[in-house]
Every structure is written in C-alpha cells, then in structure tokens.
Amino acid sequence: MKRVYKYFYQLIVLSSLVIMPACNTLDVDPADKITAEQAFKNKAGIEKGILGSYSELQSFGYYGRSYLIASDMAADNLVHPTDATQVDYAEIDNNTLLSENGVVENIWASIYSAINVANSVIDKVPGMAGMTDDEKAAALGELYFLRGLNHFNLMNYFGAIPVKTTATVGTKNLDVPRNTTTEVFTQIITDLKYAEAHLPASASTKTRASKYAATALLARVYLYQKNYALAYEKANDVITKGGYTFLPSFAQVFATEGSPETIFEVEFDAKNRNRVAEFNFPKVMNGKGEAKPDPTLVTAYEVTDKRLVSSIADSVTYNYAQKYKDMSLGDKNIIVLRLAEMYLIRAEAEAHSATGVISNVQDDINKIRNRAGLANTDAATMPDLLLAIEKERRLEFAFEGHRWFDLVRTNRALDLLPNVTKSYKMLFPIPLSEINANSKMKQNPGYN
C-alpha cells in the first residue's frame, strides 16, 4: 500500500488540518501540494486514493503502535517498566495524562489524518468519469468503512469529537466545534450501513473492507452504544452468514495472515513495518522495553490456558507481550476484527437481554474457552456471565487494543483500575495543540 502513499501524501498530508496541529506549516498553504483535481483524473487515481486511505492506518500513532499500546497500558494489561524512558507512556500507565502528552497528540493527529484522506477521495468519487455506478458505490463503501472506523476509534479515546465528512485542505475551516456523542454515533453507523450495503461479501484480501467487515464493526459499535439488540443481530449475521471459521489453535491466529478466522486486518510488510513488537520486547533482546504485561494479567490466565504462552513470553529479565513477535521485520498484519469477538459480542448482548437464554451465552463463551484448552464456564447467572465475558475478553484480546475501551464502556474502570480515581479520567485529554489551533474546541472536563 505504501507504494502509492508517497504520491498521495503530497495531496493530503501536507495540507491536513490535524497532522501537526501546532506546527508553523499550518500558517500557510503548502506550495508543493497536489490538488485533488490533479490526483483524481480517472478510476486509477481513485484506486490510489483508496489505497492511500488504507495506508493511513499504518501510522505509528495508529495501528502501527500507539493506538494499540495506549489502550492496554491505560488499563491493566500493560505497564510501563521502571527502566523505560518514554515519559508520555508513563503518564498513560499512571493515568496522569497532560494535554501536552505526545502520544495522545499523535493518536489524535494520525486518526484525523486518516479521516481527512478518506474524505478527500470521497469528495471526488461521485463525479468521476469512467466509473460505473456500481464501481462508485463499492469505492465509497470502502471509504465510508474507513471513515466510520476512524471516527469510532477516535471517539473511544476522546469522547465527543468533531465529525468530519468533507476534506480540509490548507488552512481553511480549522475552527470546528465538537459534535455530541449521539451525533458521532449516528455518522459512524450511517457510514457503516452504506459500506455493509455496497461492499462484496468477501474482499480480495483481508486488508480491504468487505460487507461482513462492516457488519462486524457495526456489531462492535452497537455494543459500545449499548444497543444490545442490534449488536446481537450484527454479530450473529457475521457468525452465521460471513463464512468465517475458527483456526484449530489460538497460536495460529497471529501466525497466519488472512486466515479464515480474521475479518479485517491492517497490512504491514518489511518496508512498511509495525513497531508493536519492537516496543514490547525487552532491551536485552534489542527491543525498546517500553511496555510489559501487567502482573495481574499474567495471573488471570488459568494454568492450562493455551493463550498464555501465545500471548506472553518468559524472558530472563521479565515477561513480554508476543502476539506480534517479529521484531526484526515488523511485517505482520495487525488484526482489527476477528471471529472470536463476534461470539463474545453475541454473548454479551444476549446477557443484557430481558429474554436472554443462559445456555446460549454459556455456549458462546465456551466456544472461546474450549479452543484455549479450558473447561466450560461455571458461570450460571447473567451477572456472573457478564463478568465471565469481561474476563474472556481481557485474555482473548490482550494487547489488541480492547481492554481500556471495555472497562470504560462498562463503567468498570473506576472499580478495577487504581489510578483511575475520578470519572473524568475515563477520557483522554484533547491535545493542547488542537485547543490552541481550534478556537471552537473545548477541553474534556478535568484537564487544563
């Protein structure tokens, strides 16, 4: 994907609203930018733009590292070692975030960059000559999927955010207010419903969106929205109609790219690396040593749980996360959506239903547990089953960027995380650079 990204970079990234919000380069329009009209002359140009939109997900501030690491570190899956050096991650670990935090700023900037790139292509698709209506609909389906994913991921860290549905180029329209969370959810769902309706059931590769990738993401969105009936419906659609199947062992999930179990992945290769393993591996193994598994996570696994050795490695110095363990290349795709999540979404949604059936919830949990080599759950009431689901999500999705969001959406962060002492800490601060650049932006309560 990055082969086309350099070309696209001139068009969007240099002129983006939020790449470097406090940077002086925003004071003037870049002289060397390519206009959208120059870039999108034909169908091939639109395809390059779509690939450029996917490649935004590779950013270090996004799935390339920070977005994933921050969620587990803000919660109780990762800790910042005492001999680590990156202070910004120490703030995340201790839940003492400042609005000047560089990691938080990079997450904000990277995701808004991805939104802006997608919008720049979206703007040009409807009027593009040489494309059939079906081709335009499919192109928009991919772009709306990405825009929905990006807005959703941003909202989960920062709460109410500005919804961006048109491209921002140069220094125009920098001052935008925050939308309500209801408005953000509405836009996300609108985008994903379009994608679901206009994308093929399966894509040419798991690194491009499909109908069921949109359906799976809708299941997650509805779960976070507490719309449990629709969360159940969408998760069930993926399970029963999507054609996905479990791999025999948990270890294979992260050793096999594009497997029958994964629904959507972010592509990385030796040239365009993710830095997740490099960040997690200890210094004695030439890693950065900036994160290690929280001891409470290690002890949460049962002795016979096969996920433990596939997720956490033992070293002379300390344990380290190893789901993505090719540190030298960093060429493994990052999994965004997979079948196991759909089973646990379906289980959680049914557990919240007044007509939910206990045995159905148990069956979905046991599907996950049995592959891990564990016996069936002994939870037998809906409240106990919800706690069992919370635990299974922690163990199944460790280091995949779910834990913080799970504890925040269920209001469990205050109960389980000692450093989250006040409710305002369940949102990250809006970056100070954005506050300074956008006169209509208001800071999250509790932050300066």
* Closest to 163 (Cα-Cα) out of 178, 142, 146: 178
Residue at which a domain ends, from 321, 352, 383: 321
Residue 360 burial class via C-beta count within 10 angstroms: exposed 0-12, middle 13-18, buried 19 and up: middle
- Looking at the fold, whether 191 and 96 belong to one and the same domain comes out as yes
The answer on pLDDT for 416 being more than 60 is yes
Q: ∠ CA 345-313-277 to the nearest 5 degrees?
A: 75
- Looking at the fold, whether 163 and 123 belong to one and the same domain comes out as yes
Is 206 a domain residue?
A: no
Task: Give the span between the Cα atoms of 269 and 137, in whole angstroms.
Answer: 29
Task: Give the span between the Cα atoms of 193 and 269, in whole angstroms.
Answer: 31
- Looking at the fold, whether 169 and 284 belong to one and the same domain comes out as no
Coil, strand or helix: which one is 320? strand
Is 313 a domain residue?
A: yes
- Looking at the fold, whether 39 and 113 belong to one and the same domain comes out as yes
- Looking at the fold, whether 31 and 57 belong to one and the same domain comes out as yes
* Closest to 281 (Cα-Cα) out of 225, 312, 321: 321
- Looking at the fold, whether 261 and 391 belong to one and the same domain comes out as yes
pLDDT at 375: 99
* Closest to 69 (Cα-Cα) out of 269, 256, 288, 255: 288
The answer on pLDDT for 83 being more than 70 is yes
Query: Using 50, 70 and 90 to split pLDDT, how confident is the model at 184?
Result: very high
pLDDT at 24: 33
* Closest to 418 (Cα-Cα) out of 94, 5, 156: 94
Do 55 and 113 touch, CB atoms closer than 8 A? no
Q: Element (H or E) spanning 198, and its range?
A: helix 181-198
pLDDT tens for each residue of 359-371: 999 999 999 999 9
The answer on pLDDT for 117 being more than 60 is yes
Is 138 a domain residue?
A: yes
Give per-residue burial for 127-162: e unless 16+ CB within 10 Å, then b. ebeebeeeebbbbbbbbbbbbbbbbbbbbbbbbbbb
Do 370 and 360 touch, CB atoms closer than 8 A? no
Q: Which residues contact 46 (CB under 8 A, 6 or more apart)?
A: 40, 121, 124, 125, 128, 131, 139
Is 19 a domain residue?
A: yes
Q: ∠ CA 155-157-162 to the nearest 5 degrees?
A: 35
Q: Residues, the chain, total?
A: 448
pLDDT at 332: 87
Q: For residue 12, which phi and psi values (nearest 5 degrees)?
A: -110, -50
Task: Give the span between the Cα atoms of 266 and 271, in whole angstroms.
Answer: 14
Amino acid at 360: N
- CB under 8 A, 24+ apart: contacts of 179-184: 181/155, 184/151, 184/155, 184/160
pLDDT tens for each residue of 189-199: 999 999 999 99
Do 400 and 423 touch, CB atoms closer than 8 A? no
Average pLDDT on 390-414 reads 98
* Residue scoring higher pLDDT (43 or 23): 43
* Alpha-carbon torsion, ordered 366, 75, 250, 381, to 10 deg: 0
* pTM, entire model: 0.92
Percent of the chain at pLDDT above 70?
A: 89
**Number of structural domains found in the chain:** 3
- Looking at the fold, whether 129 and 220 belong to one and the same domain comes out as no
- Looking at the fold, whether 349 and 364 belong to one and the same domain comes out as yes
Tell me the average pLDDT of the chain. Answer: 90
- Taking the alpha carbons of 224, 230, 236, 239 in that order, is the dihedral positive or negative? negative
Is 250 a domain residue?
A: yes
**Pair of tokens at residue 3:** 């082969």
pLDDT tens for each residue of 417-448: 999 999 999 999 999 999 999 999 999 999 98
Is 401 a domain residue?
A: yes
Do 403 and 397 touch, CB atoms closer than 8 A? yes
Coil, strand or helix: which one is 312? strand
- Looking at the fold, whether 230 and 251 belong to one and the same domain comes out as yes
- Looking at the fold, whether 126 and 10 belong to one and the same domain comes out as yes
Do 54 and 207 touch, CB atoms closer than 8 A? yes
Name the residue range of residue 50's domain: 1-199+423-448
Task: Give the span between the Cα atoms of 422 and 269, in whole angstroms.
Answer: 41
Here the CATH number for the domain that contains residue 154 is 1.25.40.390
Do 237 and 249 touch, CB atoms closer than 8 A? no
Q: ∠ CA 306-311-314 to the nearest 5 degrees?
A: 95
Q: How many CB atoms are closer than 10 A to CB 383?
A: 9
pLDDT at 279: 76
Is 328 a domain residue?
A: no
Is 366 a domain residue?
A: yes
Do 184 and 111 touch, CB atoms closer than 8 A? no
Q: What is the number of alpha carbons within 13 Å of residue 137 lying toward its C-beta?
A: 11
* Residue scoring higher pLDDT (314 or 348): 348
Coil, strand or helix: which one is 254? coil
Task: Give the span between the Cα atoms of 202 and 189, in whole angstroms.
Answer: 20
- Looking at the fold, whether 49 and 149 belong to one and the same domain comes out as yes
- Looking at the fold, whether 446 and 343 belong to one and the same domain comes out as no
